[in-house]
Amino acid sequence: MLNHFISTIPLFDAGIRRLLAAQCMDDASVNYGATVDFRKGFPEASCGIAAACITAFYTPESEFYKNPELLNRACLAMDYQLAKQHEDGTIDLVETNFHDSTSNAFNIQGLGPAYKILRRFTSHSPEEDALEERLYRFTKASGDAMVNCGFHTPNHRWVVSGALALCYSLLGDESYLHHIHRFLNEGIDCDENGEYTERSAGTYNIICNRSLILIAHELGMPELYDHVTRNLYLSMKYFEPDETICTMNSTRQDAGTDPSISAYYENFLYMAIETQNPEFAWMADYLQTKNLARFTLSPSSAAGSTAYFYRFLLEPEFVQKMLATPTKPPVPKYETLFVESGVYRYRDYDLSFTLIQNQPMFAKLQYKQHRVFFRFAGSFFGTLGQFQAQEILPIDNGYRLHYHARQGYRRPFMEKPDTWKWRDMDHSKRETVCVQDFDVNLDFSVHGNKLNVTVSTCGCERVPVKMELLFDAGGLYETPDTEFFTKPGDYVFWKRGTCQYRYSDGCAFVLNGGFYAHHYGATMRGSCGASPQCFTIVTTGFTPVEQVLSLSVE
């Protein structure tokens, strides 16, 4: 395995330079000592500045080693942070959460390792002692706040526990350890496939993994690595051919985004060393050589490296263990149905295919960086017609998405109700008549570079339906007698036969089997409506429908 410590130093130093340039040094400003978030126009916590400066100050390989200005900058950052800390010890995540002890936890996960570095290497100069006193005050108040206050989301339990593990290691307060075990007693919410509750492959998987790694190391609980191992293997099955992460089934803010797989770098690095897993080691090496230049992109990037630098500095044997870790490339070829998560994933090197339960965007076919998404809807009693698969079922040579809806009409009450107020009436006592069913089966099978889709409906007749295929705009749409360059929001009806969608690099999706019965598409009642960002190809019909489509990659 590569030496991730030494090769990252130049990138880390570049990040420090950007951080120092961004830190507000105007003593008349309300932001003095902090860094203004470019997107928000105000600072959040400044602990990351202190953590990065401390780490660089005590790293012999860094160009900032023993540079006294870093201690000054760290003190200024901590002064800003302490001034923002409430009497109960909590701090704010100004963009949304106030008196939020979980914000303390996120910050302690970065600051705690730097505090450990300072305590190990301090020469007890007046400047170092002054900084350590600030770190103690913030850490003690934060630890107490995390014990005495609460959390919002499932991942926060492990973020708080990871931070408290650092606080316990630093301060030895038994109440911290007791609080951690209260959370652990709830059980780790990581299923047998490695999926956490929030299914957040782009954000909170990484945070949960990092937190469990901290708890395992600081409290000597290596059994927690098993959960992280399962999640990393699952997460690798969410990696797309263009090295983004499939987030279609996330329940958090990363849903539908395309984050880089480099977000998992630190997870792979630590787990490779701790468990001697050769596939994780290969991933860490690959991401380091390909993606670590991100540390030079923003002032906050240097702070992000602090949490994994500390063990390289504090444990020389950790570096040797890293260098002795074998590597083995994972094979990007698999087919997996995650039943509990409601996700099917297929990967064959440059081609991937995804099915998602309980989402209107229920399928995605991707070849390299090019992708097409699928939606289906029928104009059935308002919102009841928007297809969201209730089941993913294995069938011969593929998988079926099934959806069922039922609706009817209500009759008058047989007896006078207790109230004239509509919302207070017990409508379950009404007779329901003219009940109609709407059943849709979408069958998918992948054969080499070709995806077959069978559309089958039954139940209520004459329901207008549509199948939408959503592409990234900017390509060339071609039929035997028409072609045009697409732009965002374009919406075309595919009547029959063959069409194709070609990109500037020569790659094309070839579509066969279109059908057409109406042009009630973009404005169909109860459906998601046309996408303003995508180019959409639509096929339409009236129930019952029995049709076969195919998409091939050329």
Identify the weakest region by mean pLDDT among 9-13, 105-109, 342-346: 9-13
DSSP assignment letter at 422: G
If you average pLDDT over residues 13-29, what whole number do you get?
A: 94
294 — pLDDT class (breaks 50, 70, 90): low
Residue 299 has pLDDT above 60, yes or no: no
Q: Which residues pair with 440 in a beta bridge?
A: 403, 457
302 — pLDDT class (breaks 50, 70, 90): low
87 — pLDDT class (breaks 50, 70, 90): very high
* pLDDT tens digits for range 117-152: 999 999 999 999 999 999 999 999 999 999 999 999
User: In this structure, what are the phi and psi dihedrals at residue 328, rounded to the nearest 5 degrees?
Assistant: -155, 125
Mean per-residue pLDDT of the chain? 95
* pLDDT tens digits for range 399-458: 999 999 999 999 999 999 999 999 999 999 999 999 999 999 999 999 999 999 999 999
Q: What does the block give as tokens for 70?
A: 């870093």
Q: What does the block give as tokens for 36?
A: 């203004």
Give this prediction's pTM. Answer: 0.94
Reduced to 3 states, what is the DSSP secondary structure of residue 363?
A: strand
Pairing assessment for the beta strands 491-493 and 534-542 based on DSSP bridges: parallel
Nearest CA to 362 out of 438, 453, 450 is that of: 453
Distance CA 322, CA 473 (A): 44
Contacts 24+ apart (CB under 8 A), 186-190: 186/157, 188/158, 188/212, 188/224, 188/227, 189/154, 190/227, 190/230, 190/231
Q: Which CATH number fits domain 4-323: 1.50.10.10, 1.10.730.10, 1.25.40.420, 1.10.357.10?
A: 1.50.10.10
- 171: exposed, middle or buried (Cβ count in 10 Å: 0-12, 13-18, 19+): middle
For residue 308, give the H/E element and its range: helix 300-314
Q: Which residues pair with 375 in a beta bridge?
A: 468
Q: What is the pLDDT of residue 412?
A: 98
Nearest CA to 48 out of 313, 295, 262, 299 is that of: 299
% of the chain surpassing 90 pLDDT: 94
Q: What does the block give as tokens for 132?
A: 């350590």
Residue 20 has pLDDT above 70, yes or no: yes
Q: Mind giving me the DSSP string for 69-114? A: HHHHHHHHHHHHHHHH--TTS-EEETTTEEEEHHHHHHHHHHHHHH
Distance CA 77, CA 439 (A): 60
If you average pLDDT over residues 253-272, what whole number do you get?
A: 95
Please say whether the beta carbons of 457 and 439 come within 8 A: yes
296 — pLDDT class (breaks 50, 70, 90): very low
Each domain of the chain, given as residue ranges in start order, spans 4-323, 333-553
* pLDDT tens digits for range 204-216: 999 999 999 999 9
25 — pLDDT class (breaks 50, 70, 90): very high
Q: What does the block give as tokens for 429?
A: 């006592």
Longest dimension (CA), the chain: 88
Q: What's the topology of domain 333-553?
A: Beta-galactosidase; Chain A, domain 5 (2.70.98)
Q: What does the block give as tokens for 440?
A: 């849709």
CA 34 to chain centroid, in Å, comes to 27
Same fold, 4-323 and 333-553: no
